[in-house]
Amino acid sequence: MLQSKYQWKLSSCDAEASRRLEQQLGIPPLLASLLVTRGIKHPEEASRFMDQSLLDQHDPYQMSGVKEAVPRIRQAVESGERILIYGDYDADGVSSTALMIELMRRLKASYEFYIPHRSKEGYGLHNHALKQAHENGISLIITVDTGISAVEQISYASELGIDVIVTDHHEPPLKLPEAYALINPKLPYCPYPFKGLAGVGVAYKLASALLGEDTPDAWLELVALGTIADLMPLIDENRVLVRKGLKQMTESSFPGMSALLHIAGWNPGEVSATNVAFGLAPRINAAGRMSHAFEALDVLTATHMEAAEAAAEKLDLLNRERQQLVDDIVREAFERIEAIEAVGPVPNVLVVAGEGWNVGVVGIVASKILERYYRPTLVLGINSATGECKGSARSIPGFDIYEALTHCDELLDHYGGHPAAAGMSLHVSHLEEFEQRLNDFSQAILKPEHFIPSLQAELECRLGEITLPVIEQLAQLEPFGMGNPSPRLLLREAELLDYRQMGKDSKHLKLTIRQDGNVMEAVAFGKGEIYTLLSPEARVNLVVEAGINEWNGRRKPQLFIQDISIPDLQVFDYRDPLDPGMKIEELCSKMLNISYCSAGSLAVVSTRRADLLSIGHLPGISAWVYDKERGIYPGSAESEWDEAVTVKTLFVMELPESPDIWNKMLSGFANLERVFLLHPRSSVEVIEAPSRERFKQVYVFLRKYVGPDGCSEEQVIVNIMSRLGITRRMVYFILDIFTELDFVSRTEGRIMVNPEPSKRPLESAQSYQALGLLAEMEQILLYEEVPQITEWITCQLQGVS
């Protein structure tokens, strides 16, 4: 058994609407059902969604502020005014700035640009930058991806005689700045039909209003980059813009884009949203986090490949430094949280702060902590010289982190954000009270169900439905991303044929699965740790995304695993190990480093205390001894009775003396998920299933061999063993049964045959029945293969539950 990391939720599908799409559009049932689950039920709507040539871009002049901005920019260009482009330091802001630079170059305008430093200045317009702009002769500022909340700063710019045109996509505040023009589709009075544009998308609409049909298609590469990086929904107009931009990237007009793609490991061919999200965006963002966003802007605005490649290499180096820095802070943060775990429960809201932590990466760190602990997380860097703490928060569904910060606003110097993510600053002297206030606030909101992450699957299907032609047709739903995710499919009861770790440090996993005779490979990125918890022929449930594996000119379907579960008990065969204790220690050292296994969930059981001496000292594993009367009892001082119910993984070092003891053990470990068999086989004397013929042979021998005065029991046993080929252990069981039935009597080492035995049948003896059960248990646990053992133990568990 392997618990899924997420709670799976399956979308409902209107079967009739799906059949209608399938029949009228001639598309596979899987594709038709996916469209319906996404709310696309009518054939005309589905055709338009799949064939994006049928979708038109919205008229930029529908966006409020554009009609005022266009003539003002033209006037500035024609009269030679100096224009400042004011951007932001994230990938959307850098893309927006680069696009506006392209526009200024095309217009032959007199311009300069400015992006604030992330940690030294922070987000938004700053008066010192506006003052410098005035001194440089700037008379017009065009903001990109920023400015909608800059009421005081834009008022200051007006005092300096500078007109400001704001292009932004963030939520507008109640009080708006008095700018020359405000261009933001989210303005309450703006009639623009699509509200989900990225900052670069808004900048592009302004550019296209200025240039009309002469707007270069190449600029859509920048739109695609910023839109994907800023996690904007890939629906409506964004879907059109990004799809065209990705197509342009395959033969990019930007030397810097090509250089970044190659350094990120892209092979010539189609560029996907995934290439951008995981290859380009982190490198663009690394500049603002680790140095200055100008480093990223240098890449996107480079005009020669040599300069672009050099700039891209700098970004790649910054990104690697960023990754190492994040790893270091995450490790330190985990150590602090684990110290809290050691003395009590983890709080509802995690607040972790450290001196010298780079505030440019604390948001990434918060995301990684949330992924592991799944609770609202705030990570702050402390400036030891000033005592100022700057941080980022990431939250879970159901807990509005912006509302929580508002509850603590008197402790904060600044804060902002939305329900899922936020930023804040405060003095270190307020940090302890801040954490307490957040957790007090959470008590009335967060319930146990909030701490269970969920994963949405759109459709349950069989492996045979995921064919190469179907996956190729799923491409009509691209680009995939926020608001238009890659389809997630639920597969149940697939047989695990093969599995292996792969990649650096064995971080990833490759499975081969079979269902209904269809075989397919599945890759699980970042799940290499669960290799130890997989067993051959296990039946697995998977939530997957489907893709195509291309290698040496061959194309075949491939699955990408999002989550995995094994619903049934698993048995692992390590019987007859050379050193059971060493093998258990090896397995435990791996398992206790797996997020799926926790200290207290592992136990070892044996018939002898001596076997447990080398095991009981291992941290995180309890030791137990079989007992005839009680089944099991703690075998070391560190083990407690109430720990039995927490045990999910059991290591069996020795078989018990009877099935009854085995069943008592199973009832004690009521929540078992997996059993590792490490008991010896070769040293165990065989016992046979009871046979009337075998018992008759022994009885005939006894009557012939044992005289009226009896005989040495040891001598009788040796003779039975040699003449009838029965093991000593089996002879003892037979003699015990004969004794119970009064066929023989045994006293002081001698055995006598009763000349007039009772006529009781063999089956009436309790020891005869016990022998049958014991023989069955040992036959299965000693000699059968894993599937038969698993089935038997599962039946036993059902019997004792």
pLDDT bucket at 630, cuts 50 / 70 / 90: confident
What CA–CA distance (Å, rounded) separates 473 from 249?
22
Q: For residue 250, what pLDDT is reported?
A: 94
- Identify the CATH class of 570-680: alpha beta
Quick one: 438 exposed, middle or buried, by C-beta within 10 A (0-12, 13-18, 19+)?
buried
Q: For residue 550, what pLDDT is reported?
A: 83
- What b/e readout covers 697-708, taking b as 16+ CB neighbours within 10 angstroms? bbbeebeeebee
Quick one: 20 exposed, middle or buried, by C-beta within 10 A (0-12, 13-18, 19+)?
middle
What CA–CA distance (Å, rounded) separates 35 from 20?
11
Cβ–Cβ < 8 Å for 494, 472: no
Mean pLDDT over 648-673 rounds to 88
Cβ–Cβ < 8 Å for 171, 186: yes
Mean pLDDT over 499-511 rounds to 91
Mean pLDDT over 768-783 rounds to 92
Which DSSP category does 173 fall into?
P
Q: Which DSSP string corresponds to 625-694?
A: EEETTTEEEE-STT--GGGGGG--EEEE-S--SSHHHHHHHHHHSTT--EEEE---STTSPP-PPP-HHH
Cβ–Cβ < 8 Å for 331, 357: no
> Torsion over CA of 316, 322, 328 and 334, rounded to 10 degrees?
-120
Q: Which amino acid type is present at position 729?
A: R
CATH fold of 60-317 reads inorganic pyrophosphatase (n-terminal core) (3.90.1640)
Q: For residue 609, what pLDDT is reported?
A: 60
- Identify the CATH class of 458-565: mainly beta
Least confident of 51-55, 64-68, 251-255, 643-647: 51-55
Three-state DSSP state, 174: coil
What CA–CA distance (Å, rounded) separates 504 from 506?
5
Q: Supply 795's token pair.
A: 């039946």
* pLDDT of 707 above 70: yes
* pLDDT of 165 above 90: yes
Closest C-alpha to 254, from 302, 212, 216, 193: 302
Q: For residue 637, what pLDDT is reported?
A: 57
Q: For residue 595, what pLDDT is reported?
A: 74
Least confident of 40-54, 201-215, 751-765: 40-54
CB atoms inside a 10 Å sphere around CB 552: 4
Percentage of the residues of the chain whose pLDDT score is greater than 90: 70
User: Residues near 585 by Cβ (< 8 Å), separated by ≥ 6?
Assistant: 614, 615, 618
* pLDDT of 91 above 90: yes
* pLDDT of 617 above 80: no
Within 250-304, residue ranges assigned H as helices are 255-263, 273-275, 281-290, 294-300
What CA–CA distance (Å, rounded) separates 603 from 616?
9
Strand 377-382, strand 388-394: pairing: antiparallel
User: Residues near 25 by Cβ (< 8 Å), separated by ≥ 6?
Assistant: 32, 43, 46, 47
CATH fold of 345-451 reads Diaminopimelate Epimerase; Chain A, domain 1 (3.10.310)
Residue 765 CA: distances (Å) to CA of 247, 739, 743, 759, 771: 82, 10, 12, 12, 10
Residue 687 CA: distances (Å) to CA of 138, 151, 721, 727, 777: 97, 89, 12, 7, 11
685 or 383, which is more confident?
Answer: 383
User: Residues near 374 by Cβ (< 8 Å), separated by ≥ 6?
Assistant: 396, 451, 452, 453
Quick one: 740 exposed, middle or buried, by C-beta within 10 A (0-12, 13-18, 19+)?
middle
Q: What is the mean pLDDT of the chain?
A: 91
Mean pLDDT over 567-580 rounds to 90
Cβ–Cβ < 8 Å for 471, 548: yes
Ordered by start, the domain boundaries in the chain are 60-317, 345-451, 458-565, 570-680, 692-764
Mean pLDDT over 273-281 rounds to 94
What CATH number was assigned to the domain covering residues 692-764? 1.10.10.10
CB atoms inside a 10 Å sphere around CB 108: 9
Terminal CA-CA length for the chain:
17
Percentage of the residues of the chain whose pLDDT score is greater than 70: 97
Mean pLDDT over 622-634 rounds to 79
* pLDDT of 699 above 90: yes
801 or 350, which is more confident?
Answer: 350
Residue 242, Cα to own-chain centre: how many angstroms? 26
Q: Which DSSP string corresponds to 541-592?
A: EEEEEEEEEEETTEEEEEEEEEEEEB-S-EEEE--S-S-HHHHHHHHHHHHT
Cβ–Cβ < 8 Å for 224, 260: no
Q: Which amino acid type is present at position 169?
A: H
* pLDDT of 53 above 70: no
Q: Give tens-digit pLDDT for 129-159.
A: 999 999 999 999 999 999 999 999 999 999 9
Residue 545 CA: distances (Å) to CA of 3, 263, 266, 563: 20, 26, 20, 10
User: Residues near 381 by Cβ (< 8 Å), separated by ≥ 6?
Assistant: 353, 354, 355, 356, 357, 358, 359, 362, 389, 390, 391
* pLDDT of 475 above 60: yes
Q: Give tens-digit pLDDT for 721-735.
A: 999 999 999 999 999
Q: For residue 123, what pLDDT is reported?
A: 84
Q: For residue 221, what pLDDT is reported?
A: 97
User: Residues near 578 by Cβ (< 8 Å), separated by ≥ 6?
Assistant: none
What CA–CA distance (Å, rounded) separates 302 from 304?
6
pLDDT bucket at 80, cuts 50 / 70 / 90: very high
Q: For residue 276, what pLDDT is reported?
A: 95
